[in-house]
Amino acid sequence: MALLHRAEMRPTKFALLAAWLPGRPWYQGPAGADIERVAAYRFDDPAGAVGVETLLVSAGDGPIHQVPLTYRDAPLDGGDDWLVGTTEHSVLGRRWVYDACADPVYAATLAAAVLADAGQAQEYFETDGQREYRELSMTIAGSGTRGAEVPPVGAVHRVVEDDLTVIVTDFVELAVVRRPDGGTASEGAVLTGTWSGQPSPLPLAYARRR
């Protein structure tokens, strides 16, 4: 379950992405364009400490890009090269925002979603002690057997940035499709998604045991 806050972020996550995305080798879009949200899905951190959100965004007339992010209340050890930026959250205080592909919490939750069809987090707002469900903006499904045992991910040893960003961990290799248009494929179990305007499932990520 993802408990969300009706809060302000300064700068916003989209302002951070507008400055960060044009420097990525897999980005295809105009520099300086406003970043717009197309859809999103979240995973639960079992420890409840790290926010894990994957955004589908567009910039100008460019294609849709998939951008997994993690939100932390302190810097990620060894994560300087993957920092998208910092922001002030009006409820939670300073947050460090990372390209999640280098974050072991994201790697573990993605592996569970692909290999064990663990699904996405349900999203709620809490107002005056009451929880208000927020309708999900997209649907995801993993091709692995639901409830299957997932090997421990351990540390993230290497990230190779490309149209298919590869994440190498102790026991699992993951691949994130940066432009989910059906034109990029890999080996292993697959996570697919649908969203408004995209009723046919498209690959979002892959996972295989090492």
Q: Quick: pLDDT tens for 9-35.
A: 789 999 999 999 999 999 999 888 999
Q: Total domain count for the chain? A: 1
CB 150 within 8 A of CB 115: yes
Do the Cβ atoms of 59 and 97 come closer than 8 Å?
no
Average pLDDT on 121-127 reads 74
Does position 3 have pLDDT exceeding 60, yes or no?
no
- CB 176, CB 163: distance < 8 Å: no
**Tens-place pLDDT, residues 45-66:** 989 899 999 999 999 999 999 9
Task: Say what the alpha-carbon torsion angle 82, 88, 94, 100 is, to the nearest 10 degrees.
Answer: -30
Residue 89 confidence (pLDDT): 76
Confidence of residue 74 (pLDDT cuts 50, 70, 90): very high
Domain span at residue 171 reads 2-209
Task: Report the chain's mean pLDDT, rounded to a whole number.
Answer: 91
> How much is the pTM?
0.93
